[in-house]
Amino acid sequence: MTNRPNVTILVPLKNERESLEELVRAVQQVLGQEPQEILFVDDGSTDGSWKLIEELHARDPRIKGVQLRGNFGKSRALSVGFHYAAGEHIITMDADLQDDPSDIPAMRKMLEEYDVVSGWRTTRRENLFRRMLTKTFNGTVRRTTGVQLHDINCGLKAFRREVVKTIKIYGELHRFQPILAAWNGFRVTEMPVQHHGRKYGQSRYGLERILRGFFDLLTVLFLTKYASKPLHLFGRLGLLTAGVGFIIDLVLVIEWIAGASIGGRPLLLLGTILIVVGIQFFTFGLLAEFQSYDREQRQTDPPVRKELL
């Protein structure tokens, strides 16, 4: 691309038609005449969002869009957006107007020293229950990963181009992209940002999403801590499980030597099962995660229906 924009504003969305024009005006007011593109990734909208994106593109070619064939989730939408993004700086933000475009210049300024700047919503426009859930989740992420970010779920993030071309995401791992970036040697920091109440529609963020986040955290821990040395994990789990089974069977063997009958003892079967599980169960589950990660790394054909580029 010969006339590459300085910045790409990447906005994944599903059913956010009401907010799109207002978001475009706010972003363009902040960026002014700087070479730019606003890239919408429509993740299966049914409210006419794509039709409006087509109209916006016809009015201003700097507004671009990619429509996915269905609803693939935010990580997939972002991954596709990163594939198409042309800017040297790539800013991700949600389409619901809760992120404030006025924070973008300061985040880009920080990209002079860092590779990733993650937003930190110091004042959350949410109820107490959700604030407590997210605080617990973020604290767990900091303690387990060692990356000191206070708001891993914030959609407003700034990346240097090389980061998004290096880090591949899948499933629900988009929120952990700064963690994966830090693991890959990129410089990661955070910046306090504004957070507004939702103006249109209803939030789809709930308890189920938090629970999925904890499961994804386990995936991230595995990929960052054990991807290059899986036997460190498999060995510990296998040794623990098989060790318990071995001790059970050893006690039964000692009883058998002493003259006791152990053929009908349920513990004999339990000990044997634990030994087998220690060797196989965790290995099968985590190797499947390896295969999923490897498949995403190799995938180059995004599920796109239309392009406005």
pLDDT tens digits for 33-58?
Answer: 999 999 999 999 999 999 999 999 99
Number of Cβ within 10 Å of residue 129's Cβ equals 10
165-220 pLDDT per residue, tens: 988 887 778 889 999 999 888 999 999 999 998 888 776 665 666 677 778 888 88
Does pLDDT of 227 surpass 70?
no
Q: What is the CATH number of domain 7-224?
A: 3.90.550.10
* Torsion sign across C-alpha atoms 120, 126, 132, 137: negative
User: What is the rounded average pLDDT of the residues 304-308?
Assistant: 75
CB 30 within 8 A of CB 101: yes
Residue spans of the domains in the chain: they are 7-224, 230-296
In the structure, what pLDDT confidence band is assigned to residue 232 with cuts at 50, 70 and 90?
low
| CA separation for the pair 57, 63 (Å, rounded) | 5
